[in-house]
């Protein structure tokens, strides 16, 4: 995804999060991460986008938690005979 698109997503998040009640911010951040993933944005690009925002970082970690475990399982399978 183009850098400009990522900047737009971050600008929208930065603008809207002040209007979101504190207890709803994590759910909103998780929805943004899911939308990015569903729309084909690479995991590495999403991770880079979340670097400066603790809420987005946490949402990213929660969303991709099973993905990391699958990567470890796949790596292990490669070493089995």
Give residue 81's pLDDT: 46
Neighbours of 36 (CB within 10 A): 23
Q: Are 25 and 17 in contact (CB under 8 A)?
A: yes
* Cα–Cα distance measured from residue 56 to residue 26, given in angstroms and rounded to the nearest whole number: 8
Neighbours of 61 (CB within 10 A): 13
Give residue 5's pLDDT: 83
* Cα–Cα distance measured from residue 72 to residue 6, given in angstroms and rounded to the nearest whole number: 28
Torsion sign over Cα 60, 62, 64, 68? positive
Give residue 4's pLDDT: 77
pTM summary value: 0.76
Q: For the segment 18-34, what is each residue's pLDDT rounded down to a tens digit?
A: 999 999 999 999 999 99
Task: Name the stretches of the chain with pLDDT < 70.
Answer: 1-3, 67-81
């Amino acid at each position: 995804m183009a850098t400009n698109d990522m900047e737009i997503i971050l600008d929208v998040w930065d603008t809207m999060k002040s209007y979101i009640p504190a207890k709803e911010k994590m759910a909103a951040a998780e929805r943004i991460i899911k939308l990015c993933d569903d729309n084909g944005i690479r995991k590495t690009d999403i991770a880079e986008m979340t670097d400066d925002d603790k809420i987005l970082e946490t949402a990213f970690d929660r969303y991709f938690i099973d993905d990391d475990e699958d990567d470890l399982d796949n790596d292990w399978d490669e070493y089995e005979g």
